[in-house]
Amino acid sequence: MTTADSKNKSVPMADQFECQQNLLAFMGHFDMDEFQAMESYLAPDAVWVRADGVLHGPEGLRAWAAKRQPGILVRHVLSNFRIRAISEHEVHVDSYAMVFRKDLQPGDATPAPMAGPVLMGRYEDVMRKVDGRWLIAHKSVKLDFKLV
């Protein structure tokens, strides 16, 4: 399939649903500090471009998680998924992301006080079909709004 063909080819609804569900599960595990569970949603050669660096594959995620500051309460709200074919085995997914974050101090309890989202932007994901599953091959974020 050529690039021009892929722009005109719709992605089957079952594939769209799986991609969306996998992205929601990936960020849901992130929000719950379930970093090992996130690995199953990454392609072996995945690249995650983050504000604090670039993570490469499950090994990069493990190394990042081992150094992550404890006590961070974060929640992602994802919406407006738009999925287009890149090829038969790759799709591009745009979604809106709103992020709430609170750095908890020892003794703090939930519910945490809230001042509003710390950022609003767009995730850009490339997902690849690997062994019959849609996995994240590349993830990055574009910020549109940031709490000042």
| 103 in Cβ contact with 68 (< 8 Å) | no
Q: What is the pLDDT of residue 108?
A: 87
| 147 in Cβ contact with 116 (< 8 Å) | yes
- If you write DSSP's letter for every residue of 15-72 in order, what string do you get? HHHHHHHHHHHHHHHHHTT-HHHHGGGEEEEEEEEETTEEEEHHHHHHHHHHHPPS-E
Q: What is the pLDDT of residue 2?
A: 45
> pTM of the full predicted structure?
0.90
Residue pLDDT tens, the chain, 148 long? 444 444 557 999 999 999 999 999 999 999 999 999 999 999 999 999 999 999 999 999 999 999 999 899 999 999 999 999 999 999 999 999 999 999 988 888 889 888 889 999 999 999 999 999 999 999 999 999 999 8
Q: Which domains does the chain have, with CATH numbers?
A: 3-146 (3.10.450.50)
Q: What is the pLDDT of residue 8?
A: 54
| 45 in Cβ contact with 57 (< 8 Å) | yes
Q: What is the pLDDT of residue 16?
A: 98
Residues 122, 76: Cα–Cα separation, whole Å: 12
Q: What is the pLDDT of residue 7?
A: 53
CA distances from 76 to 6, 26, 133 (A): 30, 11, 23
Q: What is the pLDDT of residue 113?
A: 85
